[in-house]
Chains A and B, each alone.
Chain A
C-alpha cells in the first residue's frame, strides 16, 4: 500500500513570495482568473495545479475541440425558480466568475451559451431545485456553463446529479446575494468511463451563508474545483465533500477559499474512502487569507479511510496567511485504515466482521452526511456508501 499524506503548510513559501513581489495580489497556489485561453496553456503535468492529475486519461478534453453535444437535462423547478438560456456575454455581464484553469476557460469559450437558474430576492424555496444531467456516451464531448443566481435574502437548495457517461467540462458560478442562504450539492454518480472536469465558483454576499457539497462515487477521472470568494464582509461558506474511489478511479477535489473580505468564514470537511488496486484520491485544500481579511475564521479538514492495499490518498492542505489579525485558522488531514481496535470491540459483541466494517464505515461518513442538510439525500447516501463497500471489501470474506 502507498498512502502518501503529503500534508504541508506553505505559509513560509507564501510569505517569501510575498516579499519578492512586494505585495501578493494573487495566490501563488491558484492561477489568476482569466477568459483568455493563452493564460491557461495546455498543461505538461508539472504545474502545481496539474501535478496529481493523470492527463493521459482525460481523453483529449484539454485539446479544446469544439463540440455542441449536451447532457440531457431533467429538472425539478419549484414555483418561483426560472431556468433560461443566456449568451456567454450575458453570463459575464451578470457577474459570473471568470475561469481559473484550462478546462473552465475552454468551457466558457466553447459552451455556446450559459444556463441561468434564477431564484428571486427574498424567495424562500423549501423544495430542492433538482437538476439531473445525463450523458449517453464517453464519446460525447460536452462543454457546459451554468450560473446559479440567488437574490438577496432568498433561501434555496440546488442538487445537481450527474449520471451516465461523457467527457464533461463544466464551469459553474454560484452568485449569492446579501443575506441569502444557499445549499448546493453536486453528486457525481457517473458510469465507470466518464471524465468530468468541473469548476464551481461561489461568490458570497454580505452576511450570506453558503453550503457546497461535492459527492463523488462514479467516473474514471473526476477533477472538481470548489472555489469560494466573498463580495462583502460577514459571509460564511461551508465546503463539504464525500468520495468513494474504487479500483482504478482517480477522484480529485480541489478547494480554494479566498478570504478577500474581513469577518468572513470558511469551514471545510471532506471525507473519502478508497478500495481496490490503483484507487487514487486527491484532496487539495487551499486557503488564502488576504491582508484585508481581518477577523476571519477558517478551518479545513480532510480524512481518508483506506480499505484495501494498493490505494493512494493524497491530501494537501495549504494555508497562506497575509494578515496576523485573524480569529482562527486551522487544518487537519489524516489517512487511516480500518481501526483494528474498533473492529475488535464491535466483534467482541458478536457483530460479524462484515457488519463491523459496515458500521465503522457508516460511522466514518455519518457526521458528514448529516451536515449535507438535504434530508431526502441522507438515506440514499448512506445506502450508496454501503453498496460501494459491498463491491469490494465485503465480498472478500476471509
Chain B
C-alpha cells in the first residue's frame, strides 16, 4: 500500500530580488496502482514540484503538506525520503566524477534496503536491468552520468528505478530528448515497475507522446504553479489537439 498525498503545497525560491513564489497551492493524491500525468508548459513549475517532494535544498516550502502513507515527508532529510520509498528520475541527472555506476548502484541499494545486497543475485539483477534498458555491459564501469548521452542518462535513471524499486516514482521529463526507440525502452521499464502491486507513478511531461506507451489513470494540467485542469486520459488527447494556449490565456485574464 502506498499513498502520496500533496496538500496545498506552496514553494518559493530565493532570488536576488527576494523570494519568488513558484508553486501556488498544489493538491494531488497518488494512490496504490495509480499513474498520474502532469502536463504543462515550460516554466510552469513541474520540476519545482518534483524537486520539492524529493527535498532539494534550493526550494523553500512556504505552506502545505506532503505525506507518504501518512508520514510527514517534508520533515525528512533527502535520503530519508528515498529510504521511505520515494524516487525521483531527474530531468537533468547529475555527473559524479570518479564514482562508477556499479559502486553508486550498490551503495544506493545498500542504503535503501539497510543491508548490502547478496552479491550473486545483485550482479545478475544489475546486468538484467542494464540489458533490458539496452545499456552496454561496460556501462557499470563508467562514472555516474559522466559523458553519458542524453538517452543514456534517462535509461540509467530508469535502471535505478527498477533496481531500487521504490513505492512511488516521480519521473521528471524522462521522455524529453529521447528518440522513439529509446522512448519505448524507457516506457517498458516504467511499465515493468508499475505492473507490480501497489506502486504509484507521477509522470511529468511536456508532450503527450510518452502517454501512448505509459497510459495514465489521471491527467493534470499544470500552469503557473497550479493545477489548472484535471481529468482522465482523454484530457491528454485534448491537449494534443489544442495545446496549452487555452489555459495560458485563461490564466492571463485578470481576476
Residue positions of A touching B, CB distance < 8 A: 339-342, 344-353, 355-356, 359-360, 362-367
10 tightest A-B contacts by CB?
A363-B98, A366-B98, A350-B82, A349-B108, A350-B111, A345-B94, A363-B99, A347-B78, A350-B112, A347-B79
Interface centre among B55, B144, B160 (most CB of A within 10 A): B144
Contact of B93 among A345, A350, A360 (CB under 8 A): A345
Does any Cβ of A come within 8 Å of B143's Cβ? Answer: yes
**How near does chain B come to A372, taking the closest CB pair, in angstroms?**
14
**How near does chain B come to A396, taking the closest CB pair, in angstroms?**
15
Contact of B94 among A342, A351, A359, A362 (CB under 8 A): A342
Contact of B99 among A341, A348, A360 (CB under 8 A): A360
Let me know if A349 and B111 touch, CB within 8 A.
yes
For the complex, what is the distance from the CA of A318 to the CA of B63, rounded to whole Å? 53
**How near does chain A come to B76, taking the closest CB pair, in angstroms?**
11
**Nearest chain-B residue to A349 (Cβ)?**
B108
Let me know if B96 and A363 touch, CB within 8 A.
yes
For the complex, what is the distance from the CA of A347 to the CA of B82, rounded to whole Å? 8
Residues in chain B near residue A363, CB distance under 8 A:
96-99, 143
Does any Cβ of A come within 8 Å of B213's Cβ? Answer: no
Let me know if B94 and A349 touch, CB within 8 A.
no
For the complex, what is the distance from the CA of A159 to the CA of B98, rounded to whole Å? 25
Let me know if B112 and A349 touch, CB within 8 A.
yes
Let me know if B108 and A350 touch, CB within 8 A.
yes
Residues in chain B near residue A360, CB distance under 8 A:
96, 99
For the complex, what is the distance from the CA of A366 to the CA of B144, rounded to whole Å? 13
**How near does chain B come to A70, taking the closest CB pair, in angstroms?**
40
User: With A348-B54, A349-B160, A349-B164 in contact, do A342 and B96 touch (Cβ < 8 Å)?
Assistant: yes
User: With A340-B57, A352-B111, A359-B103 in contact, do A346 and B96 touch (Cβ < 8 Å)?
Assistant: yes
Let me know if B98 and A350 touch, CB within 8 A.
no
Let me know if B96 and A359 touch, CB within 8 A.
yes
Let me know if B79 and A352 touch, CB within 8 A.
yes
**How near does chain B come to A344, taking the closest CB pair, in angstroms?**
6
For the complex, what is the distance from the CA of A103 to the CA of B203, rounded to whole Å? 66
Does any Cβ of A come within 8 Å of B90's Cβ? Answer: yes
Interface centre among A347, A350, A353, A360 (most CB of B within 10 A): A350
Q: Annotate B153-179 by CB proximity to A: 1 below 8 A, 0 otherwise.
A: 000000010001000000000000000
Interface residues of B toward A: which range? 20 to 34
Q: Annotate B94-115 by CB proximity to A: 1 below 8 A, 0 otherwise.
A: 1111110001100110011000
Let me know if B78 and A341 touch, CB within 8 A.
no
Let me know if B77 and A350 touch, CB within 8 A.
no
| A-B contact sample (9 more), CB < 8 A, given A342-B95, A349-B111 | A345-B96, A346-B96, A346-B104, A348-B81, A348-B90, A355-B107, A356-B79, A359-B103, A360-B99
For the complex, what is the distance from the CA of A344 to the CA of B77, rounded to whole Å? 10
Count of A-B contacts judged by CB separation below 8 Å: 81
Residues in chain A near residue B96, CB distance under 8 A:
342, 345-346, 359-360, 363
Contact of B88 among A342, A346, A348, A351 (CB under 8 A): A348
Residues in chain B near residue A341, CB distance under 8 A:
94
For the complex, what is the distance from the CA of A367 to the CA of B88, rounded to whole Å? 29
Residues in chain B near residue A346, CB distance under 8 A:
96, 104, 107-108
Let me know if B83 and A350 touch, CB within 8 A.
yes
Let me know if A362 and B99 touch, CB within 8 A.
yes
For the complex, what is the distance from the CA of A342 to the CA of B95, rounded to whole Å? 7
**How near does chain B come to A45, taking the closest CB pair, in angstroms?**
37
Contact of B98 among A340, A352, A365 (CB under 8 A): A365
User: With A348-B88, A349-B111, A359-B107 in contact, do A364 and B79 touch (Cβ < 8 Å)?
Assistant: no
**How near does chain A come to B87, taking the closest CB pair, in angstroms?**
8
**How near does chain A come to B194, taking the closest CB pair, in angstroms?**
19
Interface centre among B54, B97, B103 (most CB of A within 10 A): B97
Let me know if B99 and A351 touch, CB within 8 A.
no
Residues in chain A near residue B112, CB distance under 8 A:
349-350
Residues in chain A near residue B103, CB distance under 8 A:
359
**How near does chain A come to B136, taking the closest CB pair, in angstroms?**
21
Residues in chain B near residue A349, CB distance under 8 A:
79, 82, 87, 104, 108, 111-112, 160, 164
For the complex, what is the distance from the CA of A341 to the CA of B93, rounded to whole Å? 9
For the complex, what is the distance from the CA of A352 to the CA of B108, rounded to whole Å? 9
Residues in chain A near residue B164, CB distance under 8 A:
349-350
User: What are 22 sample pairs from A and B whose C-beta atoms fall under 8 A apart?
Assistant: A339-B94, A341-B94, A342-B94, A342-B96, A345-B144, A346-B107, A347-B77, A348-B79, A348-B82, A348-B90, A349-B87, A349-B160, A350-B83, A350-B108, A353-B77, A355-B107, A359-B96, A363-B98, A363-B99, A364-B97, A365-B98, A366-B98
User: With A341-B94, A344-B56 in contact, do A359 and B99 touch (Cβ < 8 Å)?
Assistant: yes
Residues in chain B near residue A340, CB distance under 8 A:
57
**Nearest chain-A residue to B78 (Cβ)?**
A347
For the complex, what is the distance from the CA of A345 to the CA of B97, rounded to whole Å? 12
Residues in chain A near residue B81, CB distance under 8 A:
348
User: With A355-B107, A359-B103, A359-B107 in contact, do A348 and B98 touch (Cβ < 8 Å)?
Assistant: no
Let me know if B99 and A350 touch, CB within 8 A.
no
For the complex, what is the distance from the CA of A356 to the CA of B99, rounded to whole Å? 11
Residues in chain A near residue B143, CB distance under 8 A:
363
**Nearest chain-B residue to A366 (Cβ)?**
B98
Let me know if B98 and A344 touch, CB within 8 A.
no
**How near does chain A come to B84, taking the closest CB pair, in angstroms?**
9
For the complex, what is the distance from the CA of A367 to the CA of B143, rounded to whole Å? 11
For the complex, what is the distance from the CA of A359 to the CA of B77, rounded to whole Å? 18
